Structure 1
Amino acid sequence: MPKVSQEYADARRLQILDAAQRCFLRAGFHETSMQDIFAECGLSSGAVYLYFPGKDALVLELARENLRDVSEVVRRLSRSGTSQAPGKVLSSVLSLMRKKHRENGFATLLVQIWSKALTDPQLGEVFRTLQRELRDEFTDYVREHQAASSMSAHRDPAAVAGALLGSMQGYILQLAMYGPRGVDGMADALAGVWTQALSGENLS
């Protein structure tokens, strides 16, 4: 086989992943066959298998691809020091998720992948690893704000980080169920709630 450039290989991989994502969004993982994906991307089976050995490999890569941008925003904002308030960090991440969902059905695909991860050990480990990384980033961010006295020091940083992730996951589920219009204003509302809660104010 002639050697191809990295640029060509990257473009071909993206072509296959985009086709697989469209198929999964249209019919779901279980109802989508590799033949469906071949037809969707307009490539032969040999061309697709050159990059991905099967449907599970495509699901794994889509999970990584769809969470990569979100993970990067979380890392960038959580490493910005105390200049970014908790509500601002959360609002920025949720806004990115909403934008990605409008572009490519991000939330719907992610909920499908979550479901598959419950019974697929390899995919489950990918999700657990990503969640641990995000939780660690948030935990460090919370500790830094607590040290700067801009956040209540009476809460466990890891527990706060887990709750922030839970807010993100709940938003994704509602985005998948109701669409972008169904979550209008929710990012700002969550941002306000979290900013107040973490400031040390008594909400009871």
Structure 2
Amino acid sequence: MPYTQPLVVEPEGEAVEAPMTRAERRDQQVMRILDAAKSCFVRSGFQGASMHQICAELGMSPGALYRYFPSKEAIIEAITEADRSHEAEMFAAMGENPNVIDGFVNAAMGHLRYIHESGNAPLFTEIRAESMRNEAIQFTCHQSMGEVQSSFRDYFEAAISRGEIDPCVELETILPVLMAIGEGLAINDLPSKGVSLDRVEALMRVTMEAIFRPKRKLHETA
């Protein structure tokens, strides 16, 4: 999202842009670099895109770019870190939902919509492919995915302890399977292939009900 400077109202009533702080200018420059790098990675692949190519995309000298990021791996790490703010919002919404199945499905669908609407599916695919041969990228991906899986584990373990669900198998099996399915859905970007996310959501909901076997409340069975 492009940075917009705040407006300051002068005594005469005329609104003017307030000068950016050094930190704000740095954040703006970092976002420009990340956006340019994403374009290069999608267009040329991680291996094909060079730091010089990213510089050309930006109109920035190599010396200036290296002051922000020493390598392509560092750029990928920053891209992954930026996505964590979206994930934090997803987990917060999930935890606030009183229905454990609804909470998970709504959060998962929100993530899929974000991937589709942001156009990040090709980039996500490229990063995952590179993680198979690049240990630094692999570490970043595994760390990020591990944090997501850990959040899901805490979420479902709490529901089990409250007696809300009765999973058909242990979480040690369920969680990696769910992560693999979610990754596949994100990479394939089904809406771009004409598959309705509403239908995906209906299928996901039925699947989650079957896996976690939510227990009906006493007042629902009366």
TM-score, length basis structure 2: 0.76
Q: Which moved more, 1:8-17 or 1:150-159?
A: 150-159
Other structure's SS at 2:46 match: coil
CA contact (8 A) 1:85 1:195 kept: no
Other structure's SS at 2:179 match: helix
Partners in 1 of 2:159 and 2:169 — Cα distance?
A: 12
Q: CA RMSD in A?
A: 2.5
**Mapped pair 1:179 → 2:192:** yes
In the alignment, which residue of structure 2 is the partner of 1:49? 66
Higher relative contact order (CA 8 A, sep 6+): 1
* Matched residue type, 2:24: E
Identical-residue share of aligned pairs (%)? 21
Give the gaps of 5 or more residues in structure 1. none
**Mapped pair 1:19 → 2:36:** yes
CA contact (8 A) 1:139 1:157 kept: yes
In the alignment, which residue of structure 2 is the partner of 1:7? 24
* Matched residue type, 1:156: E
Computing the radius of gyration over CA atoms, which structure comes out larger, 1 or 2?
2
Q: What are the residue-to-residue correspondences of 1:165-204 with 2, within 5 Å?
A: 165-175=179-189, 179=192, 181-182=194-195, 184=197, 185-199=199-213
Partners in 1 of 2:90 and 2:177 — Cα distance?
A: 14
Partners in 1 of 2:174 and 2:102 — Cα distance?
A: 13
In the alignment, which residue of structure 2 is the partner of 1:117? 131
Deviations 1:84-113 (A, max 9, x none): 32244233223333233322x212111111
Partners in 2 of 1:166 and 1:50 — Cα distance?
A: 36
Partners in 2 of 1:143 and 1:73 — Cα distance?
A: 20
Partners in 2 of 1:71 and 1:54 — Cα distance?
A: 25
Q: Cα 1:69–1:189, aligned 2, differ >3 Å: closer, same or farther? A: farther
Partners in 1 of 2:29 and 2:69 — Cα distance?
A: 11
Other structure's SS at 1:155 match: coil
Q: Cα 1:47–1:165, aligned 2, differ >3 Å: closer, same or farther? A: same
Q: Cα 1:141–1:7, aligned 2, differ >3 Å: closer, same or farther? A: same
* Matched residue type, 1:129: Q
In the alignment, which residue of structure 2 is the partner of 1:35? 52
Other structure's SS at 2:47 match: coil
Other structure's SS at 1:83 match: coil
**Mapped pair 1:79 → 2:79:** no
* Equivalences, count: 194
**Mapped pair 1:96 → 2:111:** yes
Partners in 2 of 1:180 and 1:70 — Cα distance?
A: 24
Give the gaps of 5 or more residues in structure 2. 1-20, 216-222
CA contact (8 A) 2:95 2:103 kept: no
- After TM superposition, which residue ranges in structure 1, 4 or more long, deviate above 6 angstroms? none
